[in-house]
Amino acid sequence: MIRIYINARFLTQTMTGVQRYALELVKEIDQLIDRGEIDGNRYEFCLLSPSNIINEPAFKHIRHKAVGKLKGHLWEQLELPFYAKGGLLINLCNTGPAFNKNQIVTIHDAAVFNYPKAFSFAFRAWYKFLMVRLGKNSKKIITVSNFSKGELIQHCKIAEHKLVVTHLGIDHIHRKKAASGTLEKYGIKSPYVLAVSTMNPYKNFNLIVDVLPELEAHNLNVVIVGSKNSKVFGEQTWVQSDAINWVGYVTDEELKALYEDAAGFIFPSLYEGFGLPPLEAMALGCPVIVSSRASIPEVCGDAVLYFDPQSPQEAASCLIEITSDTELSKQLSYKGRIRSGLFSWNKCAKDTVNIIMNTV
C-alpha cells in the first residue's frame, strides 16, 4: 500500500480561491477512487489536519485525521512532517514543511515578490523564505497557470523541470443552488455590478471607487464580496459610499445568486496566479470585464472585455458598454459559458494524480 498524505490545514481557513482549489481537488480525487480510476487497494489517501478545523470533510474513500496539538504554521512545520512520515505529502495551498523532501507543493503565485507592500512584513518575510525553500526541497511544484510558472522560475529560481501547470476547475459553481432572498438580505438594489475578491491592495479595488461617478450617472450600484484580513494584507483604508454595498464573506449559495442577478462583473486585479471569480461569473452567464494583466487573459480568453487596470475611464466605459448594450451582453454571456466549460475539476484532479503517480 502506497500512502499519500494531504496537508489539510486548509480545513482551518476561510474559503478563498486557494482553499476552493484544495477542497474541490480532494473531492474529485475521492470520486476518481470511487469510480475505480485510482486503485484504492494500492494507493491510500489520508487528510492530515490540525484539530481546529472549521468544517469536517465527508469523503467516501479518503480518511481524515486531526493530529498534533499545535495550530497554523507551527503545526505545519513541526508536527505535520512527523505524521506524514512513510508517505508522500501533498500540500495544496502555497505552504508546506520547509525541509521535507518527500513532498509535492502547489504554489499559486509569486505575489509576495511582485507586490511586497501589499502584505504585512511578517507574512511576506516568511513566505519569501518558504517558497524558495519549498522550490529547492520538494520533488515537484504544481502551479495553476503558465504565467505563474514563469513567475516562480524568475523569483524563486525553481528548476523548470520541477514545475507542472494544472488549471483550476469551475464545475463547483453548478453544484450549488442559488440562495433565494439574497438581494433582500444584504439590501442590494438592482441593477448592480459585482466584484469578488479578497481586499488585497493589488486586487486594485480602489479603481471601482474611481469609476463610481460614471456608474452612478447610469444608475448602477456596486456590490463587493470579500474579506479584509489585516494580518495578511496590512491595514487598508477603504472609501465608503452609498452606491457601494460591501457584503463581506457570503455562502456559496449566496454568491451564486449574486452572480446570476448581476448586470455585469468587474475584475480589476493587477496580479493573479489564476483568477477564479471571473470564470465563476462566466460559467453563470454574467457578462464580464477584466484587467488585461497577469494570468487573466490566459484564463478568460476572448469571452470577456479587457481594460487597462490603471485606467478608470477605460474600465467605466467597458462597464457601461456591457450593461447598456443588450446584444453585447448576450454575446459575452454565451462566450463565457463556452469558455468556462474548458475548465473542470475532473481534469485538474486527473492531471494532479498523474503527477503524484509519477512521483511516488
pLDDT digits (tens, 9 = 90+) for 22-40: 999 999 999 999 999 999 9
User: Percent of the chain scored above 70 by pLDDT?
Assistant: 96
pLDDT band, residue 334 (cuts 50/70/90): very high
pLDDT at position 197 is: 86
Mean pLDDT of the chain: 94
C-alpha cell at 236: 487598508
- Sheet containing 305-307: order of strands: 244-248, 221-225, 192-196, 264-267, 288-291, 305-307
Q: Which of 44-58, 190-204, 230-244, 296-310 has the least mean pLDDT?
A: 230-244
Q: In order of start, what are the domains of the chain with their CATH numbers?
A: 2-169+344-357 (3.40.50.2000), 172-340 (3.40.50.2000)
Cβ atoms of residues 49 and 76 within 8 Å = no
pLDDT at position 275 is: 96
Cβ atoms of residues 142 and 356 within 8 Å = no
pLDDT at position 56 is: 86
State yes or no: pLDDT of 218 exceeds 70: yes
Per the DSSP assignment, residues forming a β-bridge with 288 are: 265
Rounded CA gap, 22 and 132, in Å? Answer: 21
pLDDT digits (tens, 9 = 90+) for 33-75: 999 999 999 999 999 999 999 988 899 999 999 999 999 999 9
* Amino acid making up residue 52: N
pLDDT at position 285 is: 98
Q: What is the DSSP letter of 303?
A: S
pLDDT at position 116 is: 94
Q: Mean pLDDT over residues 178-198, rounded?
A: 95
State yes or no: pLDDT of 242 exceeds 80: no
pLDDT at position 239 is: 58
Please state, as a whole number, how many other Cβ atoms lie within 10 Å of the Cβ of residue 100.
21
pLDDT band, residue 16 (cuts 50/70/90): confident
Residue 115 CB-half CA count within 13 A: 18
- Does a cis peptide bond (omega within 30 degrees of 0) precede residue 191? yes
CB within 8 Å of 57: residues ≥ 6 apart: 8, 11, 23, 26, 47, 64
pLDDT digits (tens, 9 = 90+) for 195-207: 998 888 999 989 9
Per the DSSP assignment, residues forming a β-bridge with 192 are: 221
pLDDT at position 231 is: 45
Q: Mean pLDDT over residues 181-192, rounded?
A: 96
pLDDT band, residue 152 (cuts 50/70/90): very high
Sequence-ordered alpha helix ranges (H) in 111-187: 111-114, 121-137, 146-156, 182-185
Nearest to 359 by CA among 22, 103, 99, 46: 103
